[in-house]
Amino acid sequence: MTGEPAGTALVLVAHGTASPQGRQVVHDLVDAVRAARPELAVADAYVDVQEPKVADVVARLAPEYDEVVAVPLLFCGGYHVRVDVAKAVAPHDNARSTGALGPSRLIADLLAQRLREAGASPGDAIVMSAAGSSRVEATADARAQARLLADVWGTSVDVAFGSAATPSVPDAVSANRDHPRARVAVAALLLGEGHFHDQLTRSGADIVTAPLGACPQIVAQILTRFDEE
């Protein structure tokens, strides 16, 4: 692109994964956001595992566009959101980043949909699993998202984490075996397949939901974050 900067670039910032299926979710989201907002230049970037890194993408786009907005494809405001993405936009006067996708009632509705699709029922014990972070803000976001899910589902929802925070998902599943309920269902607060979702399938749960994926609700939540900042 040459000449004066023009328009807005939207950078979708994913964690990154070695899973081909998980990578495809991000590509599908890029395509879906482009279709929903054709006036935006939409690009993907990553904080770990994959290239290109978010700082490199923002640095490339900032001279070309009036504004660059980085939206993390992460559900809780942990280190990647508050440090990696924030640092990537900080050197550029025309760049900004939004908060994480959650907590959100829209995501709670989608988690409940995934539970129903997986065969969960109101009599089951529900554990919502987040990726996990050492930052208290991320843990607070996960607990807030679980409360929203509990409101939608109509029963209590426990929270567990794939790493860094406690309890772990296997521990939360095991603890729920003490309850007089027939099954334990894990609601995966994850965008796509990969390492963390693989862990859930080995957690001992009776039901594990599919990742949230590149569905219209996630596209809507991305654009909500883009519009509200």
Q: Is the pLDDT of residue 156 over 60?
A: yes
Domains of the chain, by residue range, sit at: 8-101+215-227, 105-208
Q: 177-187 pLDDT, tens per residue? A: 876 667 999 99
Q: Is the dihedral of CA 181, 187, 193, 196 positive or negative?
A: negative
Q: 43-82 pLDDT, tens per residue? A: 999 999 899 999 999 999 999 999 999 999 999 998 899 9
For the chain, the residue count is: 229
Q: How far apart are CA 193 and CA 135, in angstroms?
A: 23
Say whether 105-208 and 8-101+215-227 share the same fold.
Answer: yes
For residue 36, the surrounding DSSP H or E stretch is helix 20-36
Residue 2 has a pLDDT of 52
pLDDT confidence of 175, banded at 50, 70, 90?
very high
Q: Which CATH architecture has domain 8-101+215-227?
A: 3-Layer(aba) Sandwich (3.40)
Residue 178 has a pLDDT of 74
Query: Considering the chain, what percentage of its residues have pLDDT values greater than 90?
Result: 86
Say what the pTM is. Answer: 0.94
Q: Is the pLDDT of residue 1 over 50?
A: no
Across 222-228, average pLDDT: 96
- Exposed, middle or buried, 14 (CB in 10 Å: 0-12/13-18/19+)? buried
pLDDT confidence of 198, banded at 50, 70, 90?
very high
Residue 172 has a pLDDT of 96
Question: Which option is the CATH number for 105-208: 3.40.50.1400, 3.40.50.261, 3.40.50.720, 3.30.70.120?
Answer: 3.40.50.1400
Residue 179 has a pLDDT of 67
